[in-house]
């Protein structure tokens, strides 16, 4: 009578094959850049490390290939088989603006004005008795620094954050590279008055799904990824063309124009619009 389980260990074979296929898929996705449909570039070294770990586990599991077991438990491999099926057919690249609505990352909203409560600071020390005690020197110094910062005019040219390139205060031009797209859009959105009248050049794709869109108005945007493709959102500047825009939505263009502040947000008055090639890395990563 032949005992069940003798011969090839089906469980070890399935487990080893799952590790091997999963590791190979991770390597393929990482090398081809398709992994960006799932995670940000910062995860690249971790994906390589996980691939090595999968290959190691495959080598360890295959040692049990000829150790028979009375009953194989293949269901335990489903934890790897399901991701393998999902990774085997990677999702297609999102169709630019077609997959996002609302334009939350576009410099469009009017900044909210806040009123500084000047009485709060003095009330904090009311219980000490203002006639007998004074505020600490460090508190007075902080208030003086704050007042000096508030006294600076909003139109004064600011020094951009470290590592931000493309600014020329002498010629009043800003050339935004692909690498600096996200930080520059953030800077121009937060401090539009500081760059009012500057000539800005940037590349992005045409985005037309704007709230209260006016005639000849469009946006030059890139898709911003915080975590994965599920949270992609448009990020860019609203622009106004002199005539009818010859490019349709999702077309990649390079725009040069004067930056103007309208209703509290930055608007690009386009002077030159040219067709552009899609960059090799079309997404931007705010905190990469």
Burial of 235 (0-12, 13-18, 19+ CB in 10 A): buried
Give the C-alpha separation, 91 to 108, whole Å: 31
Tell me: the pLDDT tens digits for 154-192? 445 556 666 688 999 999 999 999 989 999 999 998 899
Residue 121 has pLDDT above 60, yes or no: no
Question: Which residue intervals of 113-180 are DSSP H helices?
Answer: 118-123, 137-151
pTM of the model: 0.59
Take residue 99 and report the two structure tokens written for it: 């997959």
Tell me: the pLDDT tens digits for 186-199? 999 889 999 999 99
Angle of the 78-88 helix axis to the 10-32 helix axis, nearest 10: 30
């Amino acid at each position: 009578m032949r005992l069940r389980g003798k011969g090839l260990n089906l469980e070890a074979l399935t487990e080893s094959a799952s590790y091997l296929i999963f590791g190979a898929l991770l390597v393929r996705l990482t090398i081809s850049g398709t992994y960006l449909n799932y995670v940000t570039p910062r995860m690249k070294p971790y994906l390589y490390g996980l691939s090595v770990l999968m290959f190691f586990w495959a080598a360890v599991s295959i040692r049990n290939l000829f150790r028979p077991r009375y009953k194989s438990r293949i269901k335990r491999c489903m934890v790897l088989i399901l991701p393998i099926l999902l990774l085997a057919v990677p999702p297609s690249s999102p169709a630019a603006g077609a997959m996002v609505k609302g334009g939350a990352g576009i410099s469009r909203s009017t900044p909210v004005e806040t009123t500084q409560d000047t009485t709060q600071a003095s009330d904090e020390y009311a219980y000490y008795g203002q006639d007998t005690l004074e505020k600490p020197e460090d508190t007075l110094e902080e208030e003086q620094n704050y007042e000096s910062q508030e006294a600076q005019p909003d139109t004064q040219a600011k020094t951009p954050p470290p590592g931000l390139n493309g600014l020329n205060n002498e010629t009043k031009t800003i050339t935004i590279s692909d690498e600096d797209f996200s930080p520059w859009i953030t800077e121009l959105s937060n401090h539009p008055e500081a760059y009012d009248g500057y000539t800005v050049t940037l590349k992005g794709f045409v985005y037309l799904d704007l709230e209260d869109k006016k005639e000849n108005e469009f946006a030059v945007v890139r898709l911003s990824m915080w975590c994965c493709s599920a949270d992609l959102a448009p990020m860019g500047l609203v622009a106004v063309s002199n005539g009818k825009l010859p490019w349709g939505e999702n077309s990649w263009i390079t725009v040069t124009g004067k930056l103007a502040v309208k209703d509290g947000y930055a608007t690009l008055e386009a002077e030159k619009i040219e067709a552009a090639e899609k960059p090799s890395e079309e997404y931007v990563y705010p905190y990469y």
